[in-house]
């Protein structure tokens, strides 16, 4: 009986020719009508929840742009297409994914992979091919101090989160003197804890406890017992949502109370409140954006309120800073392309570098390193099961409250 | 006083580790199968507890009555339908097979439950018991009590029942058991079912303590591995001793070297035991 392979040479040529013609036609069509944005995301693996948020943000922006006919490039409008690749929460694969998007998928522009670590790793590729890239989830300044020209970021450095926190606690709770810090031993959570330590010391607070815990730690009871023995006034814990849910649960188990408890980055997400229930009351946090902010932008979303409305219509839930940052990254590309009037990567890069606009995300101006330096991130606090803005004064929704049980 | 609290934390944590490891130890000891699906079975147990509480308002300890037979059947079916086909092969084959099955189960969980973290929040909360300055959370005590009870039941099944003696006989000498008329394939399936049932029940109890997510399975599997090697393979008391030892080492290690080294410490111990005392603390092979 002839094998399947023996048929192959006979059928392969016509099929190949047809496939080539079709794909050539498709590429030609793509080149004429759409602008392709590459987005390498950790769609599977431990970072999958974060990828979902990013994708929601990009998709919402693309949908809104396409509804209006697309991005205006010179005198014609071009539709937007986002090309996703999954790098399975594995940083080396994120770099490969970025390169593959540029060289094989022929994307015009790129969004960075998730987080500071992967964004830094992949930035080398986009710099090599001179592809303007916006990192929507990278805050560590080490990502941007490499002297790269094509990398931009929508998060201000970590210390812009901790400094306003220290300021508001100093103002509202003068009795708070002793600070205890528990940090996940990981790039972003550790960097923010170290910035907190610096800010606390600079403001005359005493750091009585500073410990790091390993990734995948299943028990914090001993660290918390040690922390409790120091009677801190301010407990500052960093990590991702699962770590912080467990830490808060074990704090309640050990009947730990303090005037101020701050956690970064969980409490800005509504899932944190759902998982911790009433014990989350008065926990403070800081994030780069909140739906309650009152910016009046000139972009397609306009205000945070309008952005929230459109987001809720599409996804039936309230957006947080992760989704908004993904959307604003699209918005910024759109504005730069429209201003440049072309898809020329160097021209678009130059427009991004000299950008100074108001958006629903807040005022956007990139510093010399490419990292945004115009934003004042809000301080948040959970009150009555809702996350409210307590600072800065211009967008404040409630007063800062003390006592976390 | 801090050290007394650390001791208490270590004991409670140790019992939880024992609960995580018992089923894994049974399967490894009796079947010589390193079941890499164990962590996923635990997470599935947690999802069952979460669903039973949020949809049907069934408390976790009552949900144990559902979890035990459900996961027994699941384990029995997996062993009977899949693993028994390769049970006589070298250990690497079964290891790879359970690894593949685990990938499939894990991705199925990601697909159906999403990667979100969920938590079973008991209303009203159970709170904590205080004795002077010492505090111990009630939900951990409850989990610990049920874990010890389940382990005791498993121990009694193995010691006193005909099936249990048959499992032990198969563990000691497969061929002799076969000659004595023991249906070895069926005993394998029962042992795997018991292991899965213990994992499911552990998951139900852990749902009261830990956030639930498909990605948590690797952490549970790692702990089960270390506990089994420390306590002695295939021994029920060994799992408890190993669990307690690990809990105490991690708690005091965390005070001495800082919490960032507690995971390193447990895997460091694993390596030391594998080199110097591969039979574990209890030093016996197989069940008695």
* pLDDT digits 0-9 by tens, A243-277: 899 999 899 888 899 999 999 987 877 788 888 88
H runs (alpha helix) in A277-320: 304-315
Asked whether residue A262 falls in the same domain as residue A386, the answer is yes
Omega prior to A265 cis, within 30 of 0: yes
Over residues A321-326, the mean pLDDT reads 94
Nearest residue on chain B to A271, alpha-carbon basis: B117
CB contact under 8 A, A49 and B130: no
CATH of the domain at A252: 3.40.50.2300
Asked whether residue A384 falls in the same domain as residue A345, the answer is no
pLDDT value of residue B283 = 63
Tell me the pairing of strands B134-137 and B128-131. antiparallel
Instruction: Indicate whether A3 belongs to any domain.
Output: no
Interface test with A, best of B20, B118, B211, B218 (most A CBs within 10 A): B211
Instruction: Indicate whether A135 belongs to any domain.
Output: yes
Model confidence at B280, pLDDT cuts 50, 70, 90, reads confident
**What percentage of chain B has pLDDT greater than the value 70?**
98
Asked whether residue A272 falls in the same domain as residue A299, the answer is no
Nearest residue on chain A to B138, alpha-carbon basis: A253
CB < 8 Å to B209, chain A = 249
CB < 8 Å to B213, chain A = 242
Name which of B68, B100, B98 is nearest B84 in CA terms.
B98
Give the Cα separation of B75 and B110 in Å (integer): 21
Our CA-based measurement puts residue A237 at a distance from the nearest CA of chain B, in whole angstroms, of 14
Omega prior to A392 cis, within 30 of 0: yes
**B173 pLDDT above the threshold of 90:** no
Task: Indicate the residue of B13, B255, B260 with minimum beta-carbon distance to A219.
Answer: B13
**Rg (alpha carbons) of chain B, rounded to whole number:** 19
**A359 pLDDT above the threshold of 90:** yes
Asked whether residue A357 falls in the same domain as residue A269, the answer is no
Q: Rounded to two decimals, what is the model's pTM?
A: 0.78
Domain count, chain A: 2
Sole residue written with tokens 């528990």: A182
Classified as helix, coil or strand, B185 is helix
Sole residue written with tokens 């794909």: A23
Task: Indicate the residue of A45, A220, A254 with minimum beta-carbon distance to B128.
Answer: A254
CA B287 from centre of chain: 17
A111 lies in which domain range?
A: 14-156+292-365
Asked whether residue A175 falls in the same domain as residue A39, the answer is no
Omega prior to B124 cis, within 30 of 0: yes
CA atoms within 13 A on the CB side of A92: 0
Domain ranges for chain B, please list them: 2-276
Neighbours of A41 (CB within 10 A): 27
CB contact under 8 A, B117 and A49: yes
Q: Assess contact for A205 and A228: CB atoms under 8 A.
A: no
**Positions of E strands within A32-170:** 34-41, 71-73, 76-86, 109-111, 133-135, 151-153
Our CA-based measurement puts residue B248 at a distance from the nearest CA of chain A, in whole angstroms, of 10
CB contact under 8 A, A242 and B211: yes
Asked whether residue A203 falls in the same domain as residue A276, the answer is yes
Asked whether residue A176 falls in the same domain as residue A264, the answer is yes
- Cα angle vertex A271, ends A259, A258, to 5°? 10
CB contact under 8 A, B130 and A255: yes
CB contact under 8 A, B251 and A48: no
Asked whether residue A60 falls in the same domain as residue A169, the answer is no
Asked whether residue A24 falls in the same domain as residue A124, the answer is yes
Give the Cα separation of A156 and A239 in Å (integer): 18
Interface test with A, best of B215, B224, B243, B247 (most A CBs within 10 A): B215
Asked whether residue A124 falls in the same domain as residue A264, the answer is no
Asked whether residue A105 falls in the same domain as residue A208, the answer is no
**A13 pLDDT above the threshold of 70:** no
Q: Count the residues in chain B.
A: 288
Q: What is the mean pLDDT of chain A?
A: 88
Classified as helix, coil or strand, A375 is coil
Domain B2-276 matching CATH 1.10.3470: the answer reads yes
Sole residue written with tokens 């147990």: B45
Nearest residue on chain B to A256, alpha-carbon basis: B135
Instruction: Indicate whether A405 belongs to any domain.
Output: no
Q: Assess contact for A267 and A283: CB atoms under 8 A.
A: yes
Give the Cα separation of A213 and B263 in Å (integer): 9
pLDDT digits (tens, 9 = 90+) for B49-83: 999 999 999 988 899 999 999 999 999 999 999 98
């Amino acid at each position: 009986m002839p094998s399947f392979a023996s048929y192959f040479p006979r059928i392969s040529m016509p099929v190949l020719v047809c496939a080539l013609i079709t794909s050539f036609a498709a590429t030609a069509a793509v080149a004429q009508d759409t602008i392709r944005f590459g987005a390498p995301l950790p769609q599977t693996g431990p970072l999958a929840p974060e990828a979902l948020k990013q994708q929601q943000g990009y998709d919402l922006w693309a949908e809104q742009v396409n509804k209006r006919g697309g991005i205006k490039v010179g005198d014609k409008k071009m539709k937007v297409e986002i090309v996703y690749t999954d790098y399975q929460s594995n940083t080396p694969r994120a770099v490969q994914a970025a390169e593959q998007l540029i060289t094989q998928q022929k994307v015009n522009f790129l969004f960075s992979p998730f987080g500071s670590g992967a964004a830094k790793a992949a930035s080398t590729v986009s710099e090599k091919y001179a592809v303007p890239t916006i990192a929507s989830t990278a805050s560590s300044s080490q990502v941007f101090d490499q002297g790269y020209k094509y990398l931009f970021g929508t998060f201000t450095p970590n210390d812009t989160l901790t400094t306003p926190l220290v300021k508001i606690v100093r103002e509202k709770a003068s009795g708070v003197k002793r600070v205890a810090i528990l940090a996940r031993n990981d790039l972003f959570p550790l960097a923010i804890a170290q910035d907190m330590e610096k800010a606390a010391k600079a403001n005359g607070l005493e750091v009585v406890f500073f410990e790091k815990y390993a990734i995948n730690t299943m028990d914090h009871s001993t660290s918390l017992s040690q922390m409790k023995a120091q009677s801190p006034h301010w407990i500052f814990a960093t990590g991702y949502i699962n770590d912080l849910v467990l830490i808060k649960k074990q704090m309640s188990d050990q009947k730990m109370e303090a005037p101020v408890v701050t956690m970064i980055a969980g409490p800005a997400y509504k899932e944190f409140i759902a998982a911790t229930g009433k014990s989350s009351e008065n926990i403070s946090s800081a994030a780069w954006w909140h739906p309650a902010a009152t910016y009046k932008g000139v972009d397609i979303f306009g205000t945070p309120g309008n952005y929230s409305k459109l987001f809720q219509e599409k996804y039936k839930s309230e957006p947080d800073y992760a989704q908004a940052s993904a959307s604003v990254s699209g918005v910024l590309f759109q504005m730069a392309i429209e201003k440049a009037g072309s898809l020329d990567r160097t021209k678009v890069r130059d427009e991004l570098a000299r950008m100074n606009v108001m958006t629903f995300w807040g005022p956007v101006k990139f510093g010399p390193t490419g990292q945004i330096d115009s934003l004042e991130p809000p301080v948040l606090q959970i009150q009555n099961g809702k996350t409210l803005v307590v600072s800065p004064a211009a967008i404040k929704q409630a007063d800062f409250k003390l006592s976390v049980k | 006083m801090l050290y007394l609290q650390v001791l208490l934390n270590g004991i409670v944590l140790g019992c939880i580790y024992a609960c995580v490891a018992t089923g894994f130890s049974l399967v490894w000891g009796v079947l010589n199968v390193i079941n890499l699906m164990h962590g996923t079975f635990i997470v599935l147990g947690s999802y069952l507890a979460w669903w039973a509480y949020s949809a049907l308002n069934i408390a976790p300890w009552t949900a144990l009555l559902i979890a035990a037979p459900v996961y027994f059947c699941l384990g029995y079916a997996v062993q009977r339908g899949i693993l028994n086909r390769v049970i006589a092969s070298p250990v690497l084959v079964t290891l790879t097979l359970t690894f593949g099955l685990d990938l499939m189960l894990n991705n199925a969980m990601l697909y159906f439950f999403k990667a979100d973290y969920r938590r079973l929040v008991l209303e009203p909360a159970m709170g904590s018991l205080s004795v002077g300055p010492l505090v111990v959370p009630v939900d951990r005590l409850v989990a610990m009590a049920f874990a010890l009870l389940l382990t005791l039941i498993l121990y009694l099944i193995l010691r006193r029942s005909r099936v249990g003696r048959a499992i032990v006989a198969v563990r000691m000498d497969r061929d002799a058991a076969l000659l004595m008329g023991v249906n070895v394939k069926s005993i394998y399936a029962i042992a795997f079912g018991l292991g899965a049932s213990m994992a499911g029940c552990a998951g139900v109890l852990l749902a009261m303590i830990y956030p639930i997510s498909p990605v948590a399975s690797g952490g549970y599997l790692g702990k089960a591995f270390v506990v089994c090697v420390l306590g002695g393979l295939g021994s029920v008391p060994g799992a408890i001793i190993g669990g307690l030892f690990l809990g105490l080492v991690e708690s005091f290690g965390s005070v001495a070297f800082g919490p960032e080294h507690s995971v390193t410490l447990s895997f460091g111990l694993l390596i030391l035991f594998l080199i110097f005392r591969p039979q574990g603390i209890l030093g016996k092979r197989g069940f008695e």
